[in-house]
Structure 1
Amino acid sequence: QWQMRLYKDMDELMQQAEFFVDAVSGYRSDFALFPEFFNAPLMAENNHMSTPEAIRELAKHTTEIVQRFSKLAISYNINIITGSMPEMVDDKLYNVGYLCRRDGTMERYEKLHVTPDEAKVWGMVGGNKLQAFDTDCGKIGILICYDSEFPELSRLLADEGMDILFVPFLTDTQNGFSRVRHCAQARAIENECYVAIAGSVGNLPKVQNMDIQFAQSMVFTPCDFAFPTNGVKAEATQNTEMILIADVDIDLLRELNQFGSVRNLKDRRKDLFELKKR
């Protein structure tokens, strides 16, 4: 759970990121998940610019940040989901992130549904790439914040064999967080998978359109006898910087799919409806 604070430069921000990677790798974690726009503090140096100009300046850091994360993934032997960052492609501004595998390979993912605020204030546009990714710990899906509120996306990923869904998010209010939190838990139940959400906390008084944050990072499970009765494997303290570590068993998902009290994937009435990716 990432604390938003002002950093003097990118080196200082990445030192903090490495601290978290080092800490979770010490517990032999297989994945590290960072929040959406965790690098927003770097926008403070461009506070004199208009908001659309400032975030486009921030996008210039994305390539270097991803390269640094890839090196951390290799050196600390951990798969890193880099949250999300702005990225310019052909004069269009996207909200994207990267899966940096510990073997040195990388995958790019995009936020498909930008919020009305992202579109209006920043001029951001949604991407069109959706896929599950292979890792050395099973197949994973990654949906950035608002995308988790569209159940079709996670169902398409589940049909590709997704075991764990990662949701980096950034919400400024409790009601915004509640949307992400409850939708993410629903995704765990309906897709028989684990879901991890990670957000940012704290204030950024010198960054326009990114001034306050509200978060509680959590790990959700399906709701059946082999899992926690409330479907919550682990939860952070609200609005407090901390590390959240959870141990999940992929084999339990296989058993649930075949022998669970309810079987949300197998019991779908495919004779009545279908879901396709265009």
Structure 2
Amino acid sequence: MSGFRIACAQYPIEPMASLDAWQEKIGRWVGEAVQGGAALLVFPEYGSMEIAASAPATMGDLHASLRTVMDAGEAMDAHHAALAATHQVHILGASRPVALDDGRIVNRARLFAPNGRSGYQDKIVMTRFEREQWGISGGDHLRVFHTALGVIGVSICYDVEFPLIARAQAEAGARLILTPSCTDSMQGYWRVRIGAQARALENQIHVAQAPTVGMAPWSPAVDENYGLAALYGPPVLNTPDDGVLSLGEEGASGWTYGAVDCAKVDQWREAGAVRPFAHWPEQYLGAPPSLPAVEVIDLA
């Protein structure tokens, strides 16, 4: 499919008293995006942490809140999978902490296809809070997802600030990169946004950002949340002068919709006033560094 409608969540962190309450909220959000014509729904980084409020005795403890969310993880995945199948849409669920067999905890975002298949991307580069206070480890693999909508990559929040991650995904075929984010200041939001727009510029692709928003003083993990959902492209040819294809409203919550047309990527790269995707190797004066290996996951 060349063109489709994407919905990026500007998602409010709210105390979910139970798994049932969280399921009702997510079902309502998905239903609204489907009514809005979206074929791909993008939830934010760590949006899953609101389920920690279902254990009020421990929700104020940073590491205990992690355990609560990890314990609910399989049920959360099953709910996303069922909604994707019921509504025949693709859903990037909010990233969540996942415990690995070797004892490490990673920050994982899973993409659910309407045919029942799913695949995940772990965040690669940890922020200071994740590595110094929370004990979250970086992932050790990079993937792109072959879907009925096209090839999609996921660069979680801080990851999109590092050029070679998105570059490897773009060279592996990604025409769209999803950037779920969670930032506790407007400076943090702008760091991610600037990274997302830079990745759209240099790879001449679409980049979609979906942030958490709102205050959650009960949570030591996601207590302050700032950001605007958006879809970006390179400022070339038929895109807006600033490359912003759609943008949410500051201080609001809800879906921000945009039109993704993967066929435009080839136009941008071939007919644009500049060709940064093609000219990328020239910056290395003939000795380009190796890019991370990328695994292609078939969800089509």
Aligned: 1:204 with 2:216: yes
Aligned counterparts of 2:186 and 2:202: Cα–Cα separation in 1: 24
**1:164–1:193 Cα contact (<8 Å) kept:** yes
Count of aligned pairs between the two proteins: 278
Alignment deviations for residues 208-257 of structure 1 (CA, whole Å, 9 cap, x no partner): 13211111111101111221111000000112111111112211111122
Give the aligned residue type for 1:89.
L
For residues 277 and 227 of structure 1, what CA distance do their matches in structure 2 show? 30
Aligned to 1:272: 287
**CA spacing shift, 1:47–1:25, aligned 2, 3 Å:** same
Amino acid at match of 2:48: N
**Which AA in structure 2 matches 1:259?**
A
List per-residue Cα deviations over 1:118-158 (Å, max 9, x = no partner). Answer: 12222111111101110111101001111111111000001
1:44 aligned to 2:53? yes
In 2, distance between residues paired with 1:222 and 1:65? 35
Q: 1:45, 1:12 → 2: CA distance?
A: 9
Point out the more displaced range, 114-123 or 95-104. 114-123
Give SS of 2:201's match. helix
**In the alignment, structure 1 residue 227 sits paired with structure 2 residue 239:** yes
Q: 2:158 aligns with which of 116, 124, 146?
A: 146
Q: Give distance in 1, aligned partners of 2:254 and 2:64.
A: 32
Contact 2:51–2:68 at 8 Å: present in 1 too?
no
Assess if the C-alpha contact under 8 Å between 1:143 and 1:165 holds in 2.
Answer: yes
Q: Give TM-score, length-normalised by structure 1.
A: 0.96
Contact 1:47–1:207 (8 Å) recurs in 2: no
Structure 1 residue 277: deviation in Å? 2.0
Deviation by residue 1:47-79 (Cα, 9 ceiling, x = unmatched): 544422321221111111011101100101100
Point out the more displaced range, 9-18 or 98-107: 9-18
Looking at structure 2, the residues matched to 115 and 63 of structure 1 have their Cα atoms a distance apart, in angstroms, of 25
CA–CA separation in structure 1 for the residues paired with 2:16 and 2:223? 15
* 2:111 partner letter: L
2:203 to 191, 210, 213: 191
| SS of residue matched to 1:43 | helix
Question: In structure 2, which of residues 24, 37, 52 is the aligned counterpart of residue 28 of structure 1?
Answer: 37
In the alignment, which residue of structure 2 is the partner of 1:83?
94
| Aligned residue number for residue 176 of structure 1 | 188
Percent identity reads 25
Secondary structure at the aligned position of 1:200 is classed as: strand
| 1:198 and 1:218 in contact (8 A); partners too | yes
Shift of 1:86: 0.7
Q: Which fold has the larger relative contact order, with Cα–Cα distance below 8 Å and residues 6 or more apart in sequence?
A: 2
User: Between Structure 1 and Structure 2, which shows a larger proportion of strand residues?
Assistant: 2
Moved more, 132-141 or 39-48: 39-48
Superposed displacement of residue 45, structure 1: 4.1
| Higher mean C-alpha deviation, range 45-54 or range 124-133 | 45-54
Matched, 1:65 2:76: yes
Conserved? CA contact 2:49–2:221, under 8 Å: no
Letter in 2 for 1:31: L
Provide the secondary structure at the position in 1 that maps to 2:265.
helix
Structure 2 residues without counterparts, runs of 5 or longer: 1-9, 294-300
Per-residue CA deviations over 1:189-212 (Å, capped at 9, x if unaligned) read: 101100100011111121113211
Shift of 1:184: 0.4
Q: Normalising by the residue count of structure 2, what TM-score does the alignment of the two structures yield?
A: 0.89
Judged with a 3 Å threshold, the aligned counterparts in structure 2 of structure 1 residues 125 and 269 are, in CA distance, closer, same or farther, namely: closer
Match of residue 252 from structure 1:
264
Supply the AA of the counterpart residue of 2:71: K
The residue type equivalent to 1:14 in the other structure is Q
- Counterpart CA distance in 1 for 2:169 and 2:251 is 30
